[in-house]
Amino acid sequence: MSLQDKYRELINAATTSEVKSLQVREQDNILYIDGSAPSGQVKDHLWDVYNKIDPDFRSGDLILNVNVSATPGGKAKVITQSSNLNIRKGPGTDQPLVGKAAHNELVTLISKTNDQWFLIRTDAGEEGYAYAQYLEPQNA
């Protein structure tokens, strides 16, 4: 089975969810899916489909590189004790780091994935998932 066949449901979900600039390519036994999602909910849905096909993202044969188009989300303050907050590619501690947010930094909330993970973006443009326990939504 090819990787595009294995991840057909995910590719179809990206297409029907109107992911812009969608690119799907295979290289060195890894499938790359790139594009720009219209909302945080769409990005969260793609991760849910991915997790259904590859529980806990263990195969290591897909790179889902879909960011959210500019979103006018609210702000949240990083409330770690003193260290930086890890920002991850997907909603889970097993996902690779894509950046960090400093203690007391304000970040943009794109969506609430679940009770544990928020999709956020820093002022530097780093976008990914952060552990909700370390984020305090701010009133506008």
47 and 26 in a common domain? yes
Strand duo 30-37 + 62-68: pairing: parallel
pLDDT above 70: percentage of residues in the chain: 96
Is 92 buried (19+), middle (13-18) or exposed (0-12) by CB count in 10 A? middle
pTM for the model: 0.68
Amino acid occupying residue 123: D
86 and 55 in a common domain? no
Q: Give the model's pLDDT for residue 52.
A: 93
9 and 38 in a common domain? yes
Residue ending a domain, among 68, 95, 124, is 68
* Domain total of the chain: 2
For 61-88, what is the mean pLDDT?
A: 86
For residue 41, what pLDDT band results from cuts at 50, 70 and 90? confident
Expressed as residue numbers, the domain containing 50 is: 3-68
54 and 95 in a common domain? no
Structure tokens at 136: 């305090």
State how far the Cα of 132 lies from the Cα of 110, in Å rounded to an integer.
Answer: 12
Mean pLDDT of the chain: 90
